[in-house]
Structure 1
Amino acid sequence: MTNKALRILIADGQHFYRLKIERALNQLGYYRIAPIHRLDEVLSAVEFGDTPLDVLIINAALAHSVKFDLLWFIRDNPQIRHVLIYGQSERASPALAWCHVPNVLISAAPLPDLQALEAFMRKVDGNAVGRGYGAFNWTQR
């Protein structure tokens, strides 16, 4: 069941990509979505937010362009519950890969498709309902 209360942040420099991801999430039943186009806006939203962010979907290029260590920022950050990083590497397979950081899914695809978003959100929703939004670990595939 879709948890319509999830707060979702989409971060990508390309307006079209943000819009495409937002529409896919809308198809899946999620509507509390904020699109952001710069890394400094993401950092401000996370740092100064009054409640933790449920989901961050971010293009890795935002962090790479300024040599920012996104995984270091996400690791053990109580203000971010679940993260999908896409566009991570041209050499990697476009399939989703589970990261060594809990609650983080990394995709080499330049843009997550509907199926990837659905699989990711199923894990987020399943965990939110089952464990009261606590931390969880995804196993490596």
Structure 2
Amino acid sequence: MPNKALRILIADEQHFHRMKTERLFNQLGYHRVAPVQSLVEMLTLVEYGCEPFDLVLINASLAGGALDLFGFFLDNRQVHHALIYDGRRAQLPPVSAAAGFPQKVQQRVQVSHAAQPDLASIQRLMALIDSPVCEAAPSPDHEWNRQRIG
């Protein structure tokens, strides 16, 4: 079951692409999707947002070389995960969870040469982002705290 609280941002200058991608997320049960049409809008929402975005999808051509998208998303605390698509235009090498990059890169930023994300690629991406979290092992004083409280 999808986590309906995930915040998703789609940045693409083509209205049809934004709408199509948003509908794919809606089909999968994700409805907190914000579409934007410019780099300035995307930067404004990311930088001045109260809470971080769980996922940002951006068409690489939107930056037009004005911003190193890969570096921006890799070190940005306001974005947990990013997919840069149409990366061939920005001359970015493809980066996916299967690539030989460090785990931090694989989990945070992916680059696709596809012109637009399709349902299968979004499903794979969301399987990584929206996977069930394993419970952490209790700390040694966990039992003591529970006994004391209740």
- The answer to whether the aligner puts 1:25 opposite 2:25 as a matched pair is yes
Q: Scaled by the length of structure 1, what TM-score is found? A: 0.82
Separation in structure 2 between the aligned mates of residue 77 and residue 66 of structure 1, nearest angstrom:
18
1:82 is aligned to 81
Separation in structure 2 between the aligned mates of residue 19 and residue 111 of structure 1, nearest angstrom:
12
Separation in structure 1 between the aligned mates of residue 67 and residue 134 of structure 2, nearest angstrom:
31
**For 2:81, what is the secondary structure of its paired residue?**
strand
Separation in structure 1 between the aligned mates of residue 52 and residue 134 of structure 2, nearest angstrom:
16
1:2 is aligned to 2
2:115 is aligned to 110
Are the equivalent residues in 2 in contact too, given 1:60–1:85 (CA < 8 A)?
yes
**Coordinate RMSD, CA, aligned:** 2.1
Gaps of 5+ in 2: 136-150
How far 1:97 moved relative to its partner? 2.9
2:133 is aligned to 130
> Deviations along 1:19-78, whole A, 9 cap, x unmatched?
010011111110000000000111111110011111101100111x24311112112211
* Count of aligned pairs between the two proteins: 126
**1:27–1:72 distance in 2 versus 1, CA, 3 Å:** same
